[in-house]
Homo-oligomer: A and B are copies of this chain.
Amino acid sequence: MITTVGTLQTGLQAGKRRTRQRRAVLEAVRNCMTHPDAQWVYEQVRKELPRISLGTVYRNLDLLSREGFIQQLKIGGSYTRYDGDVHSHSHITCRRCGMIENVDVPPLSSVIEEAISTTHFSDVTPQLDFYGICMRCRQQAN
């Protein structure tokens, strides 16, 4: 069995050293389907490495996202969330409970490209997100 923990399939390495802490953080984000925040990752990783600190989790989440191993999501709530899926996709956030789900959206039309061209910005990337009410919240007749 080949283990690729802490390494992309291409053999790329995050940071300069391959530490247990970094591998565990990447592993946790990748295995989580719910777009976790730093606290969740911390609690998860602590099951394996009880002495890891929250600061280390933050530092690694930052490094991993800067180097493109994971994605930082600054949508909706009051804290930053992470996504182990780095392929380009959108997110839909529940306005009531904050739950995030993935949405596959086709490439944005040339109409939007035109809108961008009216600005004086360069290297522009669009980010399309959605907000709504999830099924679970809708069913809870409050």
Contacts and interface: CB of A to CB of B under 8 A. Distances in A.
A128 to B, nearest CB: 5
Give how many copies assemble into the complex: 2
A126 B123 CA distance: 23
A121 B115 contact: no
Interface residues of A, number: 36
Interface string A70-90: 000011100000000000001
Given A74-B74, A75-B74, A109-B109, A116 B131 contact: no
B124 A130 contact: yes
Contacts of A124: 92, 130-132
B126 A129 contact: yes
B120 A135 contact: yes
B130 A116 contact: yes
Contact of A92 (B92, B119, B130, B131): B119
A33 interface: no
Given A122-B138, A125-B132, 17 more contacts: A90-B115, A105-B112, A109-B109, A109-B111, A112-B128, A116-B130, A120-B134, A120-B135, A122-B132, A122-B133, A122-B135, A124-B131, A125-B130, A127-B128, A127-B129, A127-B131, A128-B128
